[in-house]
Amino acid sequence: DQQVKQNSPSLSVQEGRISILNCDYTNSMFDYFLWYKKYPAEGPTFLISISSIKDKNEDGRFTVFLNKSAKHLSLHIVPSQPGDSAVYFCAASAVQGAQKLVFGQGTRLTINP
């Protein structure tokens, strides 16, 4: 049973527009969420996170929104730039106790010039 799902395997967005990547989770114990970005031939790198006590966290062009009732989070990138083309992974964990990070399968974002 996949606890973290990214239902869109790929997304194509025009440069300068907004990119919205979505992630759904099923485990109500999850209370901390992270987004990682991965370029080809590199390991994933941490992008932004959000705790369940918040519903929004912003860092420059990147904003993560959390809807706990819907068990849904999204990553907004605005404006999108060609360098944002990468695979984006959503991950979730429960802060209490020794809980591992559970990853989604990733969404490949392509920014078109």
Partner 1 sequence: ETGVTQTPRHLVMGMTNKKSLKCEQHLGHNAMYWYKQSAKKPLELMFVYSLEERVENNSVPSRFSPECPNSSHLFLHLHTLQPEDSALYLCASSQEPLAGYNEQFFGPGTRLTVL
Residue 4 binds partner 1, judged by CB under 8 A: yes
| Piece of 17-25, 29-37, 64-72, 77-85 that binds partner 1 (CB under 8 A) | 29-37
The single-letter code of the amino acid at 32 is: Y
Distances from the Cα of 84 to the Cα of 43, 73, 108, angstroms: 15, 19, 10
Among 20, 79, 102, 110, interactor with partner 1 by CB under 8 A: 102
Residue 18 binds partner 1, judged by CB under 8 A: no
Minimum distance of partner 1 from residue 45's CB (angstroms): 7
In sign, the C-alpha dihedral spanning 27, 106, 11, 113 is positive
In sign, the C-alpha dihedral spanning 36, 41, 43, 45 is negative
Residue ranges in contact with partner 1 by CB under 8 A: 2, 4, 9, 31-32, 34, 36, 41-46, 49, 51, 89, 93-96, 98-106
